[in-house]
Amino acid sequence: MALELEGRVALITGAAQGMGRAVAERMAAAGARLVLNDRNPQTLRAAVGAMEGKAAELEPVAGDVSSGRDVARMVEQALERFGAIHILVNNAGVLRPTPVIEIEEEEWDWVLNVNLKGTYLCSRAVLPAMRREGWGRIVNFSSTAGKNVSTLGGAHYTASKAGVLGFTRHLAQEEARHGITVNAVCPGLIDTEMVRDTIDSDRIRSYARSFPISRLGKPGEVAELVAFLASDRAAYITGASLDINGGDLMI
Rounded to whole angstroms, the Cα distance separating 94 from 212 reads 27
Give the model confidence (pLDDT) of 188-204 as tens digits: 999 988 888 888 888 88
65 occurs within a structural domain: yes
pTM value?
Answer: 0.96
161 occurs within a structural domain: yes
Three-point CA angle 104, 164, 11, nearest 5°: 105
Give the model confidence (pLDDT) of 71-85 as tens digits: 999 999 999 999 999
Q: Domains in the chain: how many in total?
A: 1
Asked if residue 6 lies in contact with residue 32, where contact means CB atoms within 8 angstroms, the answer is: yes
209 occurs within a structural domain: no
Q: CATH code at 228?
A: 3.40.50.720
Tell how strand 180-187 and strand 58-62 pair up.
Answer: unpaired
By annotation, the residues acting in catalysis are 157
Residues in the chain: 251
240 occurs within a structural domain: yes
Domain that holds residue 146: 9-189+222-245
228 occurs within a structural domain: yes
